């Protein structure tokens, strides 16, 4: 992470053809597609996955919004 600007050292395909958004945080990687998201513990697990995990519904609380 010391490189500026960031560079891709190795491209790895992921198990999604279309992604609306992605987020990395201390809990791992979240991939957002439509009204659902998929959670992975690490980027490497995302890259090596052959099967998608169970989807989670996106809620306003997920983004600190008041309903």
Domain annotation covers residue 48: yes
**What digits encode the pLDDT tens for the residues 8-57?**
778 888 888 899 999 998 999 999 999 999 999 998 899 888 888 999 99
Q: Please count the structural domains in the chain.
A: 1
Residue 45 lies in a domain: yes
- Report yes or no on 7 lying in a domain: no
- Owning domain of residue 28: 21-58
Residue 29 is assigned to a structural domain of this protein: yes
Q: Quick one: pLDDT at residue 67? A: 59
DSSP 3-61: -SS---SS----S-S--SEEEEETTEEEEEETTEEEEESSHHHHHH-SSPPPPEE--GG
* Residue 65 counted as domain residue: no
What pLDDT is recorded for position 19?
94
Read off the pLDDT band of 66 (50, 70, 90): low
- Say what the pTM is: 0.73
């Amino acid at each position: 992470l010391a490189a500026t600007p960031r560079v891709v050292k190795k491209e790895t395909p992921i198990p999604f053809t279309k992604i609306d958004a992605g987020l990395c945080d201390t809990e791992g990687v979240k991939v957002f597609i439509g009204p659902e998201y998929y959670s992975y513990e690490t980027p490497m697990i995302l890259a090596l996955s052959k099967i998608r995990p169970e989807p989670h519904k996106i809620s306003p609380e997920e983004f600190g919004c008041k309903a």
